[in-house]
Amino acid sequence: MDYSIVIPVHNEAGNVGPLVREIVDNTRADPPARIILVDDASTDDTADVIRRLHDEAGPIVELVRNEQCRGQSTAVYNGVQAATTRWIVTLDGDGQNDPADVPTFIERLKDSEHEELLLIGHRTQRNDTWQRRAASRIANGIRGWLLHDRSPDTGCGLKAFSREFFLRLPYFDHMHRFMPALTRQYGGEVVSIPVRHRARRSGTSKYGILDRLWVGIVDLFGVAWLGRRNRLTRWTRDSA
């Protein structure tokens, strides 16, 4: 299977080591070509930890560094650009996504008949505070009502998609929150897959609850505007 794993990280020195080792253990039957960790200008030892992981695991572990902190969407985008594989799997760098779910995504990709596809995790049991769970429910409800993306959990970091299709989508800050809507707007299919969700091992979340809600509302109307003006659809070539 031709795929890479892209992980955006910012000040996750205590999480990246265990996470990468879990990924390697859980993908031995079908390993990725690369595990690309995109360090979004961390101010702790994250980059040094990743370099040690590279020394330990070999070229499968690759470090990409953003010179300035630009956020999760830019980190994911730069990681996808750095990859050379057909398929991409993404996970959050805090260890809350369980690498044991990755093989399920890989098997679904193998069964795919087209590349205009997004597989996205659905965290059925969140290991977060009640405030974060409530904020996510509100955001997902408003997003689903306005964008009709038919995805119960658009904020899950565990995703899989075609590199080529992803790079055709419009890039903007916080686009990672709207991948299901963008995929549907560009003629693709979205499949939600139940996944595990774990408590954070160390460190703290980089996003405040009010920040997420406010940014989400602002971007929500922008994505709705894109959808109303998008006339693209899936097409096939007649070989006759």
Give the model confidence (pLDDT) of 109-145 as tens digits: 998 878 999 999 998 876 655 556 555 665 666 665 5
Q: Tell me the pairing of strands 61-65 and 159-162.
A: unpaired
> How much is the pLDDT for 155?
83
Mention every residue, 6+ apart, whose C-beta is less than 8 A from residue 203: 11, 12, 13, 14, 15, 94
Main-chain phi, psi angles of 223, to 5 degrees: -70, -35
- Tens digit of each residue's pLDDT (9 = 90 or more) over 145-174: 566 667 788 889 999 999 999 999 988 888
47 touches 66 (CB < 8 A) = no
Whether 240 shows a pLDDT value over 50: the answer reads no
- Tens digit of each residue's pLDDT (9 = 90 or more) over 186-228: 889 999 999 999 988 776 665 554 555 555 555 665 555 566 6
- Tens digit of each residue's pLDDT (9 = 90 or more) over 12-66: 999 999 999 999 999 999 999 999 999 999 999 999 999 999 999 999 999 999 9
Domain annotation for the chain: domains and CATH numbers: 3-229 (3.90.550.10)
178 touches 147 (CB < 8 A) = yes
Across the range 173-184, mean pLDDT stands at 86
Mention every residue, 6+ apart, whose C-beta is less than 8 A from residue 105: 89, 119, 158, 160, 193
- Tens digit of each residue's pLDDT (9 = 90 or more) over 69-98: 999 999 999 999 999 999 999 999 999 999
pTM value > 0.85: no
Average pLDDT, the chain: 84
> How much is the pLDDT for 171?
87
**H-type alpha helices, 72-202:** 72-82, 102-110, 130-147, 163-168, 179-185
> How much is the pLDDT for 224?
58
> How much is the pLDDT for 31?
97
Main-chain phi, psi angles of 93, to 5 degrees: -85, 0
